[in-house]
Amino acid sequence: KNEVEQSPQNLTAQEGEFITINCSYSVGISALHWLQQHPGGGIVSLFMLSSGKKKHGRLIATINIQEKHSSLHITASHPRDSAVYICHLSRSYNTDKLIFGTGTRLQVFP
């Protein structure tokens, strides 16, 4: 069993729709991160979570430590949100070794 699993793998949406991407993990973590990767490869860190919920603009990330589950929500989706979204786990405070999910490819059509 993979240590981290994302769903769905692919997602298409119409502009304006509410998007949810899920990440489940099976190991102890110090933090969970959500990344956004646009075509061309550049990666941007969206959120780093160790508990609760964070909001940035139209993006909301939540984590439930007991259930080992996190969700990334995009409200009022826009074509510029089209990207691959990757969740990854920090296992320890003293090392930044990360475990990556396989990513969710999101396409938002106008």
Partner 1 sequence: KAGVTQTPRYLIKTRGQQVTLSCSPISGHRSVSWYQQTPGQGLQFLFEYFSETQRNKGNFPGRFSGRQFSNSRSEMNVSTLELGDSALYLCASSASDGRINEQFFGPGTRLTVL
* Residues within the interface to partner 1 (CB under 8 A): 30-31, 33, 35, 41-45, 48, 50, 86, 88, 90, 93-103
Which of 108, 109, 110 lies closest to 36 in space, CA to CA? 108
Instruction: Closer to partner 1 by CB, 17 or 105: give it.
Output: 105
- Residue carrying structure tokens 């956004």: 36
- Min dist. Cβ of residue 13 to partner 1 (A): 22
Please, what's the b/e burial string for 49-83 (b: 16 or more CB within 10 A of its CB; e: otherwise)? beeeeeeeeebbbbbeeeebebbbbbeebeeebbb
On whether the CB atoms of residues 22 and 6 are closer than 8 A, the answer is yes
Instruction: Closer to partner 1 by CB, 17 or 100: give it.
Output: 100
Instruction: Closer to partner 1 by CB, 17 or 90: give it.
Output: 90
Secondary structure class of 57 (helix, strand, coil): coil
Instruction: Closer to partner 1 by CB, 17 or 84: give it.
Output: 84
